Amino acid sequence: MAVQPVGSRGQFPSAAGIFFGLGLGGFFDGIVLHQILQWHHMVTSAGYPPDTVANLKFNTLLDGLFHGATYVFVVIGLVLLWRAAHRAHIWWSGMMLIGTILMGFGLFNVVEGIIDHHLLELHHVNETVPPEQWIYWDVGFLIWGALMLGGGWLLHRSGKHATRQASTGLRRVH
């Protein structure tokens, strides 16, 4: 059985992967950097260091709201993917999903890094090191995000090529 041609009905839902990546990037930041490593909270540099119970409660509330937003991103990604996947006989390269997830994860890092770390200075990536070293961690976070964004775009592009080949009959799915 040949796969359905990639057209308007068979188009890969790139937005789904990007929303998954945004959510996963946020979960990584919140779970690993906020909770496990405890390098920062949402507004530690904005005058709310976790050195009092009130400040810690406020940061914990904002961290929870942040997790809630990232959860919504994942749900949106799931809904978009589910809606697209209900079409029969479609084959998409797995590189497209991995690529768009990496794009979303990288986009999260770049946008969050620029806004929260540099423009608003709400917090920095690693506030357990001396303040004069914060910039290195913040720039590294941006570079990491840019590399994921670029690598994801390359994977997505390669996956689109593989999907086009499959839809023209060069690859068959059984």
Q: Provide the pLDDT for residue 173.
A: 46
Residues 172, 174: Cα–Cα separation, whole Å: 7
Cβ atoms 67, 27 nearer than 8 A: yes
Cβ atoms 20, 85 nearer than 8 A: no
| 7 has a pLDDT exceeding 80 | no
Query: Domain for residue 6, yes or no?
Result: no
Residues 4, 124: Cα–Cα separation, whole Å: 48
Query: Domain for residue 37, yes or no?
Result: yes
Q: Can you tell me whether residue 3 is helix, strand or coil?
A: coil
Residues 147, 85: Cα–Cα separation, whole Å: 29
Query: Domain for residue 5, yes or no?
Result: no
Residues 35, 165: Cα–Cα separation, whole Å: 44
Query: Domain for residue 172, yes or no?
Result: no
Total domains in the chain come to 1
Q: Can you tell me whether residue 37 is helix, strand or coil?
A: coil
**Exposed, middle or buried by CB within 10 Å (0-12, 13-18, 19+), for 40?**
buried
Q: Can you tell me whether residue 38 is helix, strand or coil?
A: coil
| 2 has a pLDDT exceeding 70 | no
Query: Domain for residue 7, yes or no?
Result: no
DSSP label at 2?
P
Q: What is the mean pLDDT of the chain?
A: 89
Query: Domain for residue 4, yes or no?
Result: no
Residues 36, 118: Cα–Cα separation, whole Å: 23
The pLDDT tens digits of the residues spanning 144-173 come to: 999 999 999 999 999 999 988 887 765 444
What φ, ψ does residue 43 adopt, rounded to 5°?
-130, 35
Q: Can you tell me whether residue 6 is helix, strand or coil?
A: coil
**Percentage of the chain with pLDDT > 70?**
89
Residue 101: partners with Cβ closer than 8 Å, 6 or more residues away: 17, 18, 20, 21, 24, 152
Q: Which residue segment(s) compose the domain that 139 sits in?
A: 14-167
pLDDT band for position 139 (cuts 50, 70, 90): very high
